[in-house]
Amino acid sequence: MSAQIIDGTRLATEMRTEIAAQVADLKANRNITPGLGVILVGNDPASLSYVTAKERACAAAGMLSREIRLPEETTQNDLLNCVEQMNQDPLIHGILVQLPLPRHIDEKAVINAISPAKDVDGFTPVNVGRMLIDEPCFLPCTPHGIIQMLIRAGVETSGKHAVVIGRSNIVGKPVAHLLMRKARGGNATVTVCHTGTPDLAHHTRQADIVIAAAGRPNTLTGDMLKPGAVVIDVGVNRIPDTSRKSGFRLAGDAQFESVSQVASMVTPVPGGVGPMTITMLLHNTLESCLRTCATTLP
């Protein structure tokens, strides 16, 4: 079997076209432009590349993006002040503090400082809590992007067995919740595996859908799959490659060659989950702007 590739770039373009039309409509009818505030601390090349991609996507959708770039040695207090400045700025509807932050900064304190009403990453305790009890909230972008991908690729989740590899706050925990909730793209039976799981393959071989979010290349290989399973690869691993100008190539958590021989569908890296994550950030920023309009305009 050779798996069908779920083209994240194409699905993301489809959604971004819909978002851009709504942004244009807001501008024309209400003279309001959704705005995203981005804060980047330090010089991590991967973070810099993510932030650049997010800002470009904002501009392409007709949104405003404002960036604050701070040096690695920025104090926690200075960072908290920047977050507060964006909390107060009426032109900013969504705030994103790119993670990870330098080690001397308390990441939780910074996330807690973001106004839940502008938390388009869906990382604050208020939004996480609301998500868990199915109340209106901003859903975290990568998990929400994965669900949208499954829906738009025509993958049935209801009644299926989904295995999530990884238990991070950003991907593993929230995607497990979205897959199990009683909603479109959910209603699955979910198993969460992690570094404490003794026999990972025992679990993945029973899965109809595998979400690989371990952050380690080759975590999932073809022999660990049931024939016909759907594989969503969330990994973005930089593998040194001297034959490339950049000095590295990107690889997912799944071993693409063997997995694509057994799975029915698989997401590529790059060009899979990544573009969908950025798209859901645009979606949340637009949503936040629409909520502001609803509360401030007649």
Nearer of residues 207 and 236 to ligand GUN, judged by Cβ? 236
Assess whether 85 carries a catalytic annotation.
Answer: no
User: Which listed residue (22, 54, 118, 173) is catalytic?
Assistant: 54
CB 274 within 8 A of CB 56: no
Which of these segments, 92-100, 154-162, 176-184, 201-209, binds ligand GUN (CB under 6 A)?
Answer: 92-100
Pairing state between β 64-70 and 35-41: parallel
By CB under 6 A, name the one of 15, 19, 86, 97 that touches ligand GUN: 97
Mask of contacts with ligand GUN, 123-142, x by CB under 6 A? ------------------xx
By CB under 6 A, name the one of 55, 119, 121, 233 that touches ligand GUN: 121
- Shortest separation between residue 98's beta carbon and ligand GUN, angstroms: 5
- Shortest separation between residue 85's beta carbon and ligand GUN, angstroms: 17
User: Which listed residue (22, 118, 121, 253) is catalytic?
Assistant: 121
Residue 98 touching ligand GUN (CB under 6 A): yes
The 3-state DSSP class for residue 232 equals strand
CB 294 within 8 A of CB 30: no
Nearer of residues 57 and 97 to ligand GUN, judged by Cβ? 97
DSSP H stretches of helix in the chain: 8-30, 45-60, 76-88, 107-113, 125-132, 141-152, 172-180, 200-204, 256-262, 273-296
Assess whether 208 carries a catalytic annotation.
Answer: no
Minimal CA–CA distance to 41: which of 119, 104, 134, 115? 104
Q: Rounded to the nearest 5 degrees, what angle is found at the Cα of 95, between the Cα atoms of 36 and 106?
A: 150
Nearer of residues 99 and 293 to ligand GUN, judged by Cβ? 99
CB 98 within 8 A of CB 51: yes
Cα distance between residue 291 and residue 151, in whole Å: 25
**Which residues sit at the interface with ligand GUN, rule CB under 6 A?**
96-99, 121, 141-142, 170, 277
